[in-house]
Structure 1
Amino acid sequence: MRTAVENLQVSHLVHFTRLENLEGIMRQGIRTRYDLDNSGTGYIYNDDLRLDGYPNAASISVSYPNYKMFYSYRCADHNVPWVVLRLRPDILWEKNCAFCWENAASTNVTCIPIENRRGREAFLDLFVNKSGYPTRETTLIPRSYPTHPQAEVLVFGTIEPAYITRVDLPTRFNPNSVFSSINRHCEFWYDDDLFWPRLDHRHWPANSFQL
């Protein structure tokens, strides 16, 4: 797995979350919905339905956020600040992961048994052309990007804070006292790059986006 990740030049994974969750994540890591619900820990969740069927897994993306989902969440309340966490790719071989070449809740993915979504070949399947979808030769995306912009990795169990290498915040964000209580074991950047649609967004439907 590690060799496959390196050959594809995948340097980081990403996970977006509300700013309100950041302090807890920096202390305890990215915990699954199942774990948080059973521990009684307060948090703000994004997906109240979890149609992927795996509340015991955290959802992350390879190289670039699922911008369509990210955009829809931000549009729901423009006053809610968001951050994007950059994570070490080591998660892919050190954690129990399942790979979803499209949105994890899509019928194209849920029809695949979870055991068939694990391992090196399932990971590599994120980077091949799929019938009926724009090809990599058309979109000209980097080799480190999954073919489908909504591809996901389900990580079963907690992703510890040590895997977080950087926190990206939009440049318009106004820092406040919340950061005084956050353990900054990683870099904090004011960078809009991961808040925009992926560079190939014009090849996919529903292309009206804004920061």
Structure 2
Amino acid sequence: MQLEGKVIVITGASKGLGKALAQRLAKEKALLVLSARSGTLLQPLAKELDAAYFVGNVASEKDMRALADVAIQKFGKLDIWINNAGAWSPLTSIYAFDTDRAKELIETNLFGTVFGAKAATAHMLPRGEGTIINVLSTTALDGKNKSAAYGADKFGARGFTLALREEMREKNIRVIGVYPGGMRTDIFVEKPVEYESFLDPQLVAEKIVQNLCLDTPAEELVLRREEKSLH
């Protein structure tokens, strides 16, 4: 796929993987619409990359519709939507399960993905083309000890991704699931012991862009921590 001139929306774009994706896609001369919950880091990045931006929360369906509208108003179309925004919870026993925090995770990681996809496909379906990328986690593939809350919402987002892919396949809308292992970002309140072995967000961004540039991008992209280089 040729990315130059493609209108690409990225949620959670102000830091971490979202920022790395924005910077990498700017090199491909894509037309970017960046979003995050706070404009503090988002606005300078948008200015640096000559991108449009929208301050909003993925857990709000209204905000996601407004984000899609920004892309349409600014560029007249929407080609690729990257559901990247996410939240994390420290490992904990099921007996210490924080129900309120679990609900927050589900609202962001599951419903944020759903709302983004709904907003995107509303504009992609009439054109009969488009690509949605859902950034999930290897936790969505493997049940992990003391990761009940985070695992539950990621498995849910994976199930949604698989179902959406089948629904959109005949509509010529591609749905890609990306499953990175732990990444070195500030999403962690306390850095895990193995933090230094985590993936570099720039590596993950490069792999996502490399896949997008293929004539037929892979529908599932799994990037585990053992993968250390771009080659």
Do the structures match in fold with TM over 0.5? Answer: no
* Structure showing greater relative contact order (alpha-carbon pairs closer than 8 Å, 6 or more residues apart): 1
Query: Normalising by structure 1, what TM-score?
Result: 0.29
Query: Normalising by structure 2, what TM-score?
Result: 0.27
- The structure with the greater share of residues assigned to helix is 2
